[in-house]
Amino acid sequence: MTTLTDPPKQAFRLSQLIYDTRYRSMTIQVIAMIGFLILIGWLISNTAQNLADLGKEPSFRFLGEPAGYDINQRLIDYNNQDTHLRAAFVGLLNTLLVAFLGCITATVLGVIIGVLRLSKNWLVARLMTVYVEMFRNVPVLLWIVFVMAILIESLPAPRAFRGDNPEATMKVFDSVAVTNRGVYVPELLFGVDARDEKGEYLDAPTGWRVGLGDLPIGASADNPACASYYATEGAMAGEPGPGCGTFQISLDLMAVLFVLIAGFYSAHRIKLRADRIQEATGERPTTWYLRLGVVVVPLLIVLYALGAYLAYPELRGFNFRGGTHMRNSLIALWLALSLYTAAFIAEIVRAGIMAISHGQTEAAAALGLRSNRIMSLVILPQALRVIIPPLISNYLNLTKNSSLAIAVGYMDITGTLMGITLNQTGRELETVLLGMLIYLTISLSISAVMNWYNNRVKLVER
Amino acid sequence: MKKTVFLGALTVAGLAAGAAAAGTLDDVKARGKLNCGVSTGLVGFAAPDANGEWNGFDVSVCRAVAAAVLGDPAAVEFVPTTGKTRFTALASGEVDMLARNTTWTFSRDVDLKFTFVGVNYYDGQGFMVPKELGVSSAKELDGSTVCIQTGTTTELNLADFFRSNNISYEPVPIETNAEAQQQYLAGACDVYTTDASGLAATRATFENPADHVVLPEIISKEPLGPLVRHGDDEWGDVVRWTLNALITAEELGITSANVKEMASAAGNNPEINRLLGTEGNLGEMLGLSADWAVAALSSGGNYGEIFEKNIGENTPIGLSRGLNAQWTEGGLIYSPPFR
Amino acid sequence: MSDLSFVRTEMLPEKEPPASTVGAIGWARENLFSGWFNSILTVVSLTVIYYVLSTLLTWAISPTWSATSLGECRDILAEVGREGHYAGACWGVIRDRWIQLLFGFYPSELYWRPILAFILLGVALAPVLFSDKVTPKLLWFSAVFPFLFPWLLWGGTIWAPLAVIAGFVIGWFVYKAVDASAGSLAGIIAAVVAAVVWWMFLSGYVVNGVPNPDDPNAVGGLNALLPIGIEAVESRNFGGFMLSITIGVVAIACSLPLGIVLALGRQSDLLIVKALCVGFIEFIRGVPLITLLFVASTLLNIFMPPGTNFDIILRVIIMATLFASAYMAEVIRGGLAALPKGQYEGADSLGLNYWQAQRLIIMPQALKISIPGIVSTFIGLFKDTTLVSIIGLLDPLGLSNSIRADAAWNGIVWEIYGFIALMFFVFCFAMSRYSMYLERKLHTGHR
């Protein structure tokens, strides 16, 4: 008979904390934690004492004070009497804008260049190699400055458009002005029959195509800018003035977007229905005109009803007025970041394509696909799985590199919050920490979204 | 002062150990070098030449202070600072004084806790436009594109000016003067605005300076001067009175050429004697040697000489004295008496 | 009859291939004009090349090498009949300032020191980078070099780097002593504590002697006994490419041990250690370098005990080190992940403990795999050193502003930028080629 005996119960000895592997990891962790806390405490106490010596108390109250400076590119309403917080927000939107545009162009350019590097055309392949090496091996800050200088020096100034025999003319049926201050493109506006402040029609009236106007969020009756919004009569009744509310939503644009999304959704449903019919009967009904129709027709109707028209830029005074002004600083930063990142993406794409076994190409060729279809239908979708993870880190790099906007005077979050606001208020600690926090949030969000996408397209291994 | 080899090694590697709270004057003397914050490069005011020697109007003030304190105008470490880093550099004790065309304002003096020891250049923000635009007043600039240097008071002044005149403008913020100049010349902005001295200096280097005009409006007061930290009055006095010595010397006709001779023996003018240390003990009161002012003046001459050499009418920059003439000649440059 | 046949009995002589498939024409048809799309691409490429080269060359070939100011350049160009804004480059500025762009304000009589330091850097790296061609005995030099390098660049007394080395030696002996009696973990902790105590508190007295309150500049200790040293150079005299390379090299060298620790921490089973490492790495990788440089320029002094005051270049190096260490950790983690699991198991089966396994089995292999990644991290960091111009340091880009602020060269744009870009290209291209060579070499075993 065997008796089960419990392992001898030993009293816990202190030396076990070092020698016993079960406890040792605990010891290490506790030591690490204590060390970390001491470090943090030390930093905080130093900071507190230094700030006390300088007579500055850490406080974020400055964010509520008027900023006092102007920002040229604002995606939301802003003037120099608004707060530093709002200025920072304007900067944040600018950062996001250039990062978004940059990621898209860099991807498109990168894929094209990566594919062309593998082209059978000797000259093109060499040229693309030169491009990639040139952009990868020179600092991005230098490229940003370069592109800006090229734009400034090579494009005509607005004054070149003036006179009877101008040196420069507008492009695309006189609707786009390319100047060294930026590109002016026509802008979609609503309300042909809207009236100006004096009650005059802006254009020949038909009486009802005035648009829906703007909806101010957070409007209050105390704000004088909102007087017209709350007014029931007068030419501008129901229209919020600039500065009314925290921000304003264009109801016209919302209506157009809604119709557009509804159209696409219907088109998608029609396609699904066509799929079902094809599965059941083997014959696919022709639906392209229907699908086109549900997107386009309602859109046109809504656009007409809202009185949509294009505002063309025209030279008035010192500058072009009207239209959308894409500033040089935005274009330079956008272009430089895209070109620079595209060189890296091209390498990733090339590596991804080369990772696909040659048998895939041959098999696709055996099916009778032409070479561009082989690339787009067989190779690239498979390469995508290899490409996406490094692509994410390049998107992150591009977003982070957009902080170099300051070199061309693009007012991003670094230029507003960590630039002029820091200068004017002298709050280094608060502004820099807040700025880092914002960038960290952006980075983590981008990687979260892209990782989610990556997990979706990842090959499911069994 | 706890100094160990580890930290000592870092000192060699550039760690300037020194408590900001201790007397800056003693620190500077112990170190044998003056750390002076200047701009990273502004024509006529501060720029390094091919040999790495810094020159310019602001730089001369640093050299004069170094000469007064240490007897050697070359005993200066110039720390280039940007608009963003300058105040931190001063507050943290990285530099002993800042001579970087910094405008004396209430909030910088009171809120940021600095002491402006005087004014070495009275400036004001102006506008420069190409002549062909036909603009004669800044009020006609409605809708124009304006190049501004960021990190300065200019962007606030500009916002205030256009707001109070109810005209619109498009600001183009730019980091450095060199880039602003490039944009302006290419026509990427209609107007360039900065301190009038900067405008003149910039215009002077154009291929065709005559094609550009500086508009008559001066929209702000920009008294530029050296500054030190709050709370160290001995050091503040040294910098203040060195600057005043330069100014007084011009008023009294002491130049770098004749200062040695005048200092060799007491003369008839008691103020000159007091200034040059042949009478009284002003140097001792400051905690400096008796010939501090002689050393300061030998370094680059009096205020007028410094002005003429770096930014005066005979230089490419060609600024006239204007407001910066001696008070006896109708300007604002005025030093309290040495008594 | 028998010699009559309807089938050819011998081969015909080979015909010449059609003229259109051999020689230059054939090559061109094959490689440049193999279809309408390719032909269009070729023509477009040729146009671009022609346009770029013709603009660039007419501008760059310009007899202005000896000019001493921009005005003189314009005069020279006007003399040869070239007028206009882009008449030609003004190369005088490069002749005048190239030394400054390379060395910054380093005293000219001491240029041999950085040059020697960078040559020795190559020597010290050789046994690591070209392990198959160089004798491993040089590794001893590589071990000493990290202390020699700063001493050569910054100068000063020889005792400072020696005292730092002494700290490591003391740590090593303490480790040996404690390891024998109390185990390896206690040994490591004791060694670190001993070394830190030596550096922070004791070494000062040994090297500089007991501080004299009356005369803070008095020297004592070894410095007084044997004042061996070379002229000290303040780091704010560093500038130009020397500054970029120094920041890059020092930051990468310092980030390597930090990165290894972080990578091991990230792989560790210890929850808190792992969380701290992941937090640090993700934080650093999530913010742009420029914000870290803002921290260096405006905040680092606030975080330190009152009274300490680091030089800005040292602060930048500290932040660049932290920045690089996060990326380094990821590179090394990749190297660790690429090792076959058998290596870990083999180490375990030999009865090695964690540190022994890391030191003898894992790290040597993982680091070797990581070298290409380390090189590209270095290239990235080296390029990013241009950002220090934004906080007012005079790296090449910062110097370009100072040069343009000189009345003689005010208005110069492309010449300096072109020169800087070219220098960066040469450095980075060479390094990336090396890294590719290494990758190919490392891959031979696997394919």
Q: Are residues A305 and A355 in the same domain?
A: no
Does B210 contact chain A (CB < 8 Å)?
Answer: no
**C-alpha torsion angle, residues B130, B132, B134, B138 (rounded to 10):** -10
Nearest alpha-carbon partner for A158 in A124, A183, A132: A183
**C-alpha torsion angle, residues A42, A47, A50, A53 (rounded to 10):** -110
For C314, the closest of B14, B181, B204 (CB atoms) is B14
Contact assessment for residue A446 and residue A399, using Cβ atoms and an 8 Å cutoff: yes
Q: Where is B185: in which H helix or E strand?
A: helix B177-186
Residue at B1 is within a domain: no
What is the DSSP secondary structure assignment for residue A8, as one 8-state letter? P
Using one digit for the tens of pLDDT, what is the confidence trace for B55-75? 899 999 999 999 999 989 999
Q: Are residues B135 and B195 in the same domain?
A: yes
Residue at A201 is within a domain: yes
Q: Are residues C406 and C420 in the same domain?
A: yes
Q: Where is C53: in which H helix or E strand?
A: helix C36-60
**What count of other Cβ atoms lies within 10 Å of the Cβ of residue A338?**
24
pLDDT at A234 > cutoff 90: no
Q: Are residues B197 and B249 in the same domain?
A: no
- Cα diameter, chain A: 116
State the pLDDT at residue B201. Answer: 79
Q: Is B188 helix (H, G, I), strand (E, B) or coil?
A: coil
State the pLDDT at residue A200. Answer: 56
State the pLDDT at residue C31. Answer: 77
Segments of A332-371 assigned E as strands: none
State the pLDDT at residue B130. Answer: 92
Residue at A347 is within a domain: yes
Nearest alpha-carbon partner for B103 in B220, B206, B14, B15: B220
Q: Are residues B247 and B287 in the same domain?
A: yes
Q: Are residues B113 and B251 in the same domain?
A: yes
State the pLDDT at residue B93. Answer: 83
Contact assessment for residue B236 and residue B54, using Cβ atoms and an 8 Å cutoff: no
Structure confidence at residue B43 as a pLDDT band (50, 70, 90): confident
Query: In Å, what is the CA distance from A371 to each residue of A348, B246, C37?
Result: 21, 80, 12
Residue at A452 is within a domain: yes
- Contact criterion met (CB < 8 Å) for C298 and A432: yes
Q: Are residues A290 and A345 in the same domain?
A: no
Give me B196's structure tokens. 């009038």
Q: Are residues A344 and A447 in the same domain?
A: yes
Nearest alpha-carbon partner for B199 in B272, B101, B52: B101
Q: Are residues C319 and C387 in the same domain?
A: yes
Residue B172: list chain A partners with CB under 8 A.
72, 181, 329, 409
Does B187 contact chain C (CB < 8 Å)?
Answer: no
Residue at A345 is within a domain: yes
Residue at C101 is within a domain: no
Q: Are residues C240 and C331 in the same domain?
A: yes
**What count of other Cβ atoms lies within 10 Å of the Cβ of residue A192?**
19
Structure confidence at residue C238 as a pLDDT band (50, 70, 90): confident
Residue at B133 is within a domain: yes
Domain limit, last residue, from C180, C197, C230: C230
Give me C55's structure tokens. 């603009």
Contact assessment for residue C167 and residue C200, using Cβ atoms and an 8 Å cutoff: no
Compute the C-alpha angle B2/B3/B9, nearest 5°.
Answer: 155
Dihedral pair phi/psi, residue C306, rounded to 5°: -55, 135
CA distance A409 to chain C (A): 12
pLDDT at A235 > cutoff 70: no
Q: Where is A188: in which H helix or E strand?
A: strand A187-189
- Contact criterion met (CB < 8 Å) for C45 and A19: no
Domain limit, last residue, from A309, A329, A362: A309
Using one digit for the tens of pLDDT, what is the confidence trace for A420-434? 888 888 888 899 999
Q: Are residues B99 and B81 in the same domain?
A: yes
Query: What sign does the CA torsion over A359, A364, A366, A369 have?
Result: negative
* Encoded amino acid at B155, one letter: E
Structure confidence at residue A133 as a pLDDT band (50, 70, 90): very high
Nearest alpha-carbon partner for B79 in B100, B105, B106, B107: B100
Q: Are residues B229 and B202 in the same domain?
A: no
Q: Are residues C370 and C313 in the same domain?
A: yes
Q: Are residues A275 and A383 in the same domain?
A: no
Which region among B253-257, C189-193, C207-211 has the lowest average model confidence (pLDDT)? Answer: C207-211
What is the DSSP secondary structure assignment for residue C69, as one 8-state letter? S
Q: Are residues A133 and A202 in the same domain?
A: no
Using one digit for the tens of pLDDT, what is the confidence trace for C7-22? 887 888 888 887 777 7
β-pairing verdict for B34-39 and B97-98: parallel
Domain limit, last residue, from A293, A309, A325: A309
Mean pLDDT on A134-141: 92
Treating both helix axes as pointing N-terminal to C-terminal, what angle do B24-31 and B57-70 enclose, rounded to 10 degrees?
Answer: 80
Q: Are residues A120 and A214 in the same domain?
A: no
Q: Give the residue with greater pLDDT, C179 vs B187.
A: B187
Mean pLDDT on A394-420: 91
ipTM of the complex: 0.85
Using one digit for the tens of pLDDT, what is the confidence trace for B77-128? 898 888 778 888 888 888 899 998 888 988 888 888 889 999 999 989 999 9
pLDDT at A277 > cutoff 80: yes
Distance, in Å, from the CA atom of C309 to the CA atom of B10, rounded to the nearest integer, reads 11
A contact chains, 3+ CB pairs < 8 A:
B, C
Dihedral pair phi/psi, residue C95, rounded to 5°: -60, -40
Q: Where is A217: in which H helix or E strand?
A: strand A214-217
Q: For position B283, which CATH number holds? A: 3.40.190.10
Q: Are residues A269 and A347 in the same domain?
A: no
**What count of other Cβ atoms lies within 10 Å of the Cβ of residue C337?**
11
Residue B185: list chain A partners with CB under 8 A.
none
Residue at A401 is within a domain: yes
Parent domain of B277:
16-121+224-329
Residue at C300 is within a domain: yes
Q: Are residues A450 and A392 in the same domain?
A: yes
pLDDT at B16 > cutoff 60: no
Interface test with C, best of A36, A51, A142 (most C CBs within 10 A): A142
Domain limit, last residue, from B193, B220, B247: B220
Q: Are residues B190 and B238 in the same domain?
A: no
State the pLDDT at residue C438. Answer: 82
Which region among A112-126, B217-231, C16-30 has the lowest average model confidence (pLDDT)? Answer: C16-30
C contact chains, 3+ CB pairs < 8 A:
A, B
Distance, in Å, from the CA atom of A363 to the CA atom of B58, rounded to the nearest integer, reads 74
Mean pLDDT on C236-247: 88
pLDDT at A419 > cutoff 70: yes
Residue at B8 is within a domain: no
Domain limit, last residue, from C15, C37, C53: C53
* Token pair 């202005």: residue: C64
Q: Are residues C193 and C318 in the same domain?
A: no
Residue B151: list chain A partners with CB under 8 A.
419-420, 423
Using one digit for the tens of pLDDT, what is the confidence trace for B172-207? 988 777 788 888 988 888 999 988 888 887 887 787
Residue at C125 is within a domain: no
Residue A72: list chain B partners with CB under 8 A.
170-173
CA distance C37 to chain B (A): 39
Q: Are residues B100 and B150 in the same domain?
A: no
Residue at C336 is within a domain: yes
Closest residue of chain C to B39, computed from CA coordinates: C392
**What count of other Cβ atoms lies within 10 Å of the Cβ of residue C280?**
19
Residue at A431 is within a domain: yes
Domain limit, last residue, from C30, C53, C76: C53
Parent domain of A226:
189-309
State the pLDDT at residue B83. Answer: 78
pLDDT at B234 > cutoff 70: yes
Mean pLDDT on A80-109: 93
DSSP tally for chain C: helices H, then strands E: 20, 2
Count of domains for chain B: 2
Distance, in Å, from the CA atom of B145 to the CA atom of A329, rounded to the nearest integer, reads 13
pLDDT at B14 > cutoff 60: no
Q: Are residues C170 and C241 in the same domain?
A: no
* Encoded amino acid at C136, one letter: P
Residue at B317 is within a domain: yes
pLDDT at C30 > cutoff 80: no
Count of domains for chain C: 3
Count of domains for chain A: 2
Average pLDDT, chain C: 83
Q: Does the reported pTM lie above 0.90? A: no
In Å, how far from its chain's centre is CA B163?
A: 30
- Contact criterion met (CB < 8 Å) for B5 and C235: no
For B172, the closest of A55, A72, A316 (CB atoms) is A72
Structure confidence at residue A312 as a pLDDT band (50, 70, 90): confident
Q: For position A438, which CATH number holds? A: 1.10.3720.10
Closest residue of chain B to A160, computed from CA coordinates: B187
Terminal-to-terminal C-alpha distance of chain C: 62
Domain limit, last residue, from B188, B220, B252: B220
Residue at A175 is within a domain: no
Q: Are residues C219 and C244 in the same domain?
A: no
Parent domain of C37:
1-53
Q: Are residues A370 and A433 in the same domain?
A: yes
Residue at C29 is within a domain: yes
Q: Are residues C269 and C290 in the same domain?
A: yes
Nearest alpha-carbon partner for B63 in B300, B310, B241: B300
Q: Across the strands, what pairs with C144?
A: none
Q: Are residues A297 and A342 in the same domain?
A: no
pLDDT at C231 > cutoff 50: yes
